[in-house]
Structure 1
Amino acid sequence: MRQKLVVGNWKMNGSLQANQSLLKELSAGITDACGVAVAVCVPFPYLAQAQALLAKTSLAWGAQNLSEKDSGAFTGEVAASMLRDFACRYVLVGHSERRTLYGENNALVAEKFAAALAGGLQPILCVGETLAERETGKTGEVVAKQVAAAIDRAGIAAFSKAVVAYEPVWAIGTGKTASSAQAQEVHAAIRAQVACADVKVAEGLQILYGGSVKPSNAAELFGMPDIDGGLIGGASLVASDFLAICQAATPA
């Protein structure tokens, strides 16, 4: 049985003072006994703080992006090895905001996916369709291409060390949420795509849902057979909300 995983994505939010309060409240409310794996992906400047505050807790931490390059004259970029220096476990790859705002295409995302793995990190591969793509019936095609790019670049075995997050772009930060049935349909399709290459890898792959997950809808989403947790945006900045979402993922 796959363990549920809940990951907070702070995006470009936070301050030293606010982070300290949030992380202390989260670490007090989440223990190994919960049976849920929990992590936070924080902005680069706060990785040292997250490491210091979470090192002896049940929470893992990670980054929101990385370079596809190992090192060199790439001003402003951050390499996988640098993230490992701060004991990061996870790194987001291909978040829709990176794809839409910064022009990251499937090929570049696949390179970042491979770089994360090579650097000893566990990539969380973000995939999802826009509203226009859903309305024209292209959800399956778009998501399949995004997943296939990573498989083609890194190989199917890489997915035994990775996580996939399905985020319908139209539901991120909008207050709109895919219904549990809509989300389950896409999650099942992703797992089936991976299973075509390796059934065992597919069975163990954690596939998260991201897109306006809240305490009020988390339990229903997490109750779907192929939804293994959530990638949480705004609600991860409010301790009580994030803890409630983690509680919704707790095994019965």
Structure 2
Amino acid sequence: MKGEPKPALLGVSLKLYFGHNETLQWCREVADMAKRHPALQEGDVKLFVLPSFQALVPANQIFADTPVLIGAQNLHWQNKGAYTGEVSGAALRETGCRYVEVGHAERRRIFGEDDTVVAAKAHAALQNGLIPVLCVGEIEEAPVEAAAAACIGQLRSALSLETGKSTGAVVVAYEPVWAIGASNPASAEHITGVCALIREWLSIQNQFDDWSVIYGGSAGPGLMTQLGPGVDGLFLGRFAHDVDALSSIIGEAARPAKITRTA
């Protein structure tokens, strides 16, 4: 990837906001938009969508003739076994998933997922050819250096089971916990400062074929313009529910998209 133009990367997690039919209708609207949007058609921006589990198969069919890729919001750390209600990375890959979210602050807080669980899930994702979207972020607002140190510590733990040469790709989603669901995102200076230090750490690991650092946490229209090449993209939530707003964000991401990978 060194020296090559790198498209901006946008991801959307629908969490549990939509019902099944509402999810599929949103996917249809996004698919129609994606077929017309020059930034997606020309490859200046890459978009992935993480719907709920039951929508993955029909969503994959809806996006089949578009550039949009799908992924899941969670996975289990085992591929098979007596794990009632769980979904494996192997099944996700078979379903057509390319991405899977791992380690989100809500999974940690609500479902008690600790560093050991997050590491096992990240390992399962990579072993099944999925791109883990590893969520990291400081719990309380902190200076750039302290925030970055917390994120890098979480990354070290999450990737502790991966050894040897490069193993596919990874997306790091910097999501300061204090900014998730807030009225405003973190400041542009804070975001770009933390992401720069995360990028610096990733660049010396020689662990992955490719990596990206994107920002999430009340990310919406206008933010990508402020951040420019200071991030590789955005991880969107509620602001992407409006497909017109999502289209606008894609347009913003396309302008600074042709940055050069220096790692």
- Aligned residue for 1:25? 29
- Aligned residue for 1:237? 241
Contact 2:126 2:132 in 1 (8 A): yes
The two structures, once aligned, show a CA RMSD in angstroms of 2.1
- Aligned residue for 2:212? 206
Query: Matched residue pairs, number?
Result: 247
- Aligned residue for 1:216? 222
Range that drifts further, 70-79 or 23-32: 23-32
The Cα shift of 1:159 comes to: 6.5
Map 1:67-82 to 2 at 5 A: 67-82=76-91
Range that drifts further, 154-163 or 25-34: 154-163
Map 1:174-193 to 2 at 5 A: 174-193=182-201
- Provide TM-score, normalisation by structure 2: 0.87
Q: Deviations over 1:49-105 (max 9, x none)?
A: 211111111100110000111110111111011111210010001011111111112
Q: Which runs of 5+ in 1 are unaligned?
A: none
Q: Does residue 1 of structure 2 align to residue 8 of structure 1?
A: no
The Cα shift of 1:34 comes to: 5.3
The Cα shift of 1:245 comes to: 1.2
Contact 1:4 1:36 in 2 (8 A): yes
SS of 1:185 mapped into structure 2: helix
Q: 1:136 to 1:122 in 2, by over 3 A?
A: closer
Q: Among 172, 176, 185, which residue is 2:180 paired with? A: 172
Q: Among 195, 217, 220, which residue is 2:203 paired with? A: 195
Range that drifts further, 23-32 or 86-95: 23-32
Alpha-carbon distance in 2 for matches of 1:249, 1:135: 26
Alpha-carbon distance in 1 for matches of 2:224, 2:12: 14
- Provide TM-score, normalisation by structure 1: 0.90
Q: Does residue 64 of structure 2 align to residue 55 of structure 1?
A: yes
Alpha-carbon distance in 2 for matches of 1:138, 1:104: 23
Question: Higher helix proportion, which one?
Answer: 1
The Cα shift of 1:20 comes to: 3.0
Q: Does residue 46 of structure 2 align to residue 40 of structure 1?
A: no
- Aligned residue for 1:146? 154
Q: Deviations over 1:211-236 (max 9, x none)?
A: 11111323212x043x0001101112
- Aligned residue for 2:261? none
Contact 2:129 2:168 in 1 (8 A): no
Q: Deviations over 1:13-67 (max 9, x none)?
A: 2223322332222122224225210010011011112111111111001100001
Contact 2:177 2:217 in 1 (8 A): yes
- Aligned residue for 1:116? 125
Alpha-carbon distance in 2 for matches of 1:147, 1:157: 17
State the AA in 2 paired with 1:171. Answer: A
Q: Which runs of 5+ in 2 are unaligned?
A: 35-39, 257-263
